[in-house]
Chain A
């Protein structure tokens, strides 16, 4: 049959009509839509049996109980543990993001040895045996050549059995150089040592206080144990307690406080003394407490026969409201009213430690605040502040030092301080670069990230360049791990057994137990086990100091009969703990609270902030609950909560008062270069009424260069711009800021 045009057309139309009427197109359409509902690249989470495992979160020193929801072997959610004494079921954003750290792309999956240049991020995978023996060999060489003291360790935490084990390792090896990441607790400890005569971290009975005078403490920005503080804040609201926040910036804490008093940055001590002045002058102080439990209030004659001014005279002479007003920028009448309100309270409590308290801060300030507490009798009483006994590990046998260790351990430490001095971690870079003292031959970094967290990043890096051997025991490819020569990946907190003692600032002795909720995801090792293995590999006296098969055995020995409670409940609280009686409370020579200790003089000593008049502005870094600022970098969820006025694309915003912006010809969103004597960085400005004119602020937690694409290369690391300033007495870092200038970029 010849197909003419007509039949061709008819055929075509017929086929088209036939197809349309057949089920085929309809079936295909349906299938396609079903396909869009099951795209193979969209994951389908597996179902399974649900279980909950209790543990503790050690991502910050807060020590909150957590409950991990698991489906078969996978963790699907971390929630607050109901009934835990610290957080009572609550949880913070970081704690909630824990599983992103567990399963995240920045975990180090196996021991690594550097093959590229430092920080180049080129590695070769090595076995644990190789890694341990290589390190042991290096250490052995140093030790036999009499250089045991030239190694150092920086631990992320000042407490806990792993840290103690780390310290023990250095002791047995023969090095006095154990350091830890510093915090305001270090300064508080000194204040307690001088004024109470007792060593211990501070415990604040905040829940029972009714007027809380915070000298810049970020009570709701992660100070102390963050979740506990949120709970406390809620309790204060319900009990009509008053919170007064003193700081130059309207922080989260200031915003939620009943009153925000803006103060010239760095003059908090002067205000504390000014308030004391009013209390003394108007006889509003707790006379009974001062009379019976304190010393050095009145002027006295020292053992050397010199007349020394007492607290009363010092304060009355030098810190009148008018004088203090000039220093702080706060109205004299406001100071008087503040003092009266503070005195009138049943349980007034003053505290300090700026932001999250990650900078130790000025000792004079801590003492002034502590003295203010003493003046109202809020020391060593309910609703007040008292030192928490340090949990020194008693059960371990003393390290039997061999001759090498005995010599090494008695050397002055890296920063030239005698043993048992305050932890001057901040002085390490300068000490290394100064060339005075001895060179540092090896540095071990345990769960800390000094290349990011220490002030003056460039100097820190220069110093690290001089250390020939750097070992990181981190779980994540952080800045320091990436700079290391060997990385010994640690289990993360969800994979390991560990004790989490004494949440910062918590007024009761609590120990929580971190449990291995999950099997290790990668070829990692518990840092405790790594240390034990290393010690055993070293042999001799070092090995003898580590008689345990593994860390768990060691922990069991340390915890003793507490272990059972810890395993069962997940935490242990010393139910017998009480506020020490007056005899035990003060161990000063006089047996009383000492207003005028011999070691340090009370008074306002401004911290010598860096920068001259060519830097017209004051830059203050600040901490926020939306950003992890320490060893832990922000997991993706947290970064997602960061406002677009803090970070936009990869640019940090520098907070500035509109008036200051105007006088610098800047408007919202302008690109600027912020410059200090330590460095400079490019960012943008965000105009905010809630910051003192002349002050600019930058959040901590940004500006990472390592980790993953979810946090790396976003924004400015404040530490690039700021340097440490040593407190004249403690030597600890007291820099609350630095002078800076802005120019349009």
Chain B
């Protein structure tokens, strides 16, 4: 069988999120905000204007009390590959401000090139992209905690989860200095993965058999969000609950997700 992981140094970073383990505690959201200098305002209750690169959705099975069930679903940028890197957003950006990196499979966002047309947001079915409607303002003194590895954005541009790309760069530099060819699995982990107290998020090279995600993505109950749209995402979810898997995509009445044996 052909080995999936070529020796050409290309990687395909992705996530497997175990929804059975996720408790919806919000650590991933905050870890992401803290790591990536995500701004905040006095009122963040308008979720359609609240920048949360990682957002935890609360899904319900819609059944009446007491048959009701809830599942929490963390939603980072899905880093769609589409076909040949034509993810929904990358292909529409008029100024090449967002791009699909074939070396890592990460969908980048260049804030200083984005001029804020928001076409990418219209293209993204996951609402993973956020526009800076306001100038990011930190209350006096709080700018001290800003992470220098991630540049704060300016008003009028789109931002989104980068799979903590700066951590990849740091890991790559370190591997280079240490004379290693490969970036160790541990050496590059996203802030949300690291923070998750439930260990629900696993991150790594989906194509590398040595990485945990390689196996986890194939387990029964694994699915991707809106797979039928052909977005070819790199974030996998796992759930033992059928209704949750069904909520991961749109199905006609006669259809349904793959059965888990």
Contact = CB atoms under 8 A, between A and B. Distances in A.
Contacts of A89: 194
B219 to A, nearest CB: 13
B65 A76 contact: no
A100 B139 CA distance: 10
Nearest to A46: B148
Contacts of A647: 45
A640 B39 CA distance: 10
Interface in A633-652: 636-644, 647-650
Interface stretch (B195-203, B205-213, B226-234): B195-203
A91 B64 contact: no
Which residue of A44, A76, A262 has the most chain B CB atoms within 10 A of its CB atom? A76
B25 A220 contact: yes
Contacts of A76: 145-148
B66 to A, nearest CB: 5
Given A250-B68, A689-B60, A693-B65, A641 B29 contact: yes
B64 A689 contact: yes
Interface string B58-93: 101011111011111000000000000000000000
A87 B27 contact: no
Contact of A45 (B70, B135, B139, B143): B143
Given A36-B154, A42-B136, A79 B141 contact: no
B128 interface: no
Interface stretch (B5-13, B30-38, B99-107, B245-253): B30-38
B136 to A, nearest CB: 7
B142 A104 contact: yes
Contacts of A287: none
Contacts of A227: 197
Considering residues A96, A231, A642, A693, which has the most beta carbons from chain B within 10 angstroms of its beta carbon? A96
A709 B20 CA distance: 36
A690 B58 CA distance: 13
Contact of A93 (B27, B66, B140): B27
Nearest to B48: A644
B26 interface: yes
Nearest to B44: A640
A644 B47 contact: yes
B45 A91 contact: no
Given A93-B25, A689-B68, A103 B154 contact: no
A74 B145 contact: yes
A631 interface: no
Contacts of B155: 39
Interface string A91-115: 1110011011011110000000000
Interface in B142-185: 142-148, 151-156
A691 interface: yes
Contacts of A256: 23
A196 interface: no
A692 interface: yes
Contacts of B197: 80, 87, 90-92, 226-227, 230-231
B4 interface: no
A231 B148 contact: no
Contacts of A638: 26, 30
A237 B138 CA distance: 40
Contact of A97 (B34, B62, B198, B199): B34
A37 interface: yes
A77 B197 CA distance: 16
Contact of A42 (B70, B135, B147): B135
Contacts of A41: 135, 137
B62 to A, nearest CB: 8
A15 interface: no
A640 B52 contact: yes
A196 to B, nearest CB: 31
Nearest to A238: B21
B23 to A, nearest CB: 5
Given A44-B151, A48-B148, A691-B65, A237 B30 contact: no
B152 A230 contact: no
Contact of A103 (B26, B145, B151): B145
A444 B136 CA distance: 39
Nearest to A710: B42
Contacts of A675: none
Nearest to B146: A45
Given A74-B144, A74-B145, A45 B198 contact: no
A453 interface: no
A692 B64 CA distance: 10
Contacts of B37: 45
B34 A625 contact: no
Given A233-B23, A233-B198, A710-B42, A641 B138 contact: no
A640 B50 contact: yes
A564 interface: no
B255 interface: no
B56 interface: yes
A691 B60 CA distance: 13
Nearest to B150: A45
Contacts of A326: none
B112 interface: yes
Nearest to A689: B68
Contacts of A37: 112, 154
A332 to B, nearest CB: 16
B145 A99 contact: yes
Contacts of B40: 636-637, 639-640, 710
A255 interface: yes
Contacts of B191: 77
A47 interface: yes
B24 interface: yes
A636 B51 CA distance: 13
Nearest to A227: B197
A234 interface: yes
A638 B38 CA distance: 13
A75 interface: yes
B200 A234 contact: yes
Contact of A231 (B27, B140, B199): B199
A702 to B, nearest CB: 11
Contacts of B70: 250, 252, 255, 690
A126 B70 CA distance: 53
A260 interface: yes
Interface string A704-721: 000011100000000000
Contacts of B195: 79-80, 90-91, 96
Contacts of B66: 250, 260, 262, 692
Contacts of B136: 42
A234 B151 contact: no
Contacts of A738: none
B60 A690 contact: yes
A312 B196 CA distance: 45
A106 to B, nearest CB: 10
28 contacts: A43-B152, A46-B148, A76-B147, A77-B35, A79-B31, A79-B195, A80-B197, A90-B196, A93-B26, A93-B27, A97-B34, A103-B145, A105-B141, A226-B197, A230-B198, A234-B21, A234-B198, A260-B66, A626-B25, A636-B40, A638-B30, A639-B44, A641-B26, A643-B58, A647-B45, A658-B64, A688-B68, A690-B60
Given A234-B200, A252-B24, 17 more contacts: A45-B148, A75-B145, A76-B145, A87-B197, A90-B199, A92-B25, A92-B197, A100-B145, A103-B141, A103-B145, A234-B198, A234-B199, A640-B30, A640-B33, A641-B26, A641-B29, A647-B45
Interface of A: 36-37, 39, 41-48, 71, 74-80, 87, 89-93, 96-97, 99-100, 102-105, 220, 226-227, 230-231, 233-234, 237, 250, 252, 255-256, 260, 262, 521, 625-626, 636-644, 647-650, 657-659, 688-693, 708-710
What 6 A-B pairs have minimum CB-CB distances, sorted nearest first? Answer: A90-B197, A230-B197, A45-B146, A255-B70, A641-B26, A45-B148
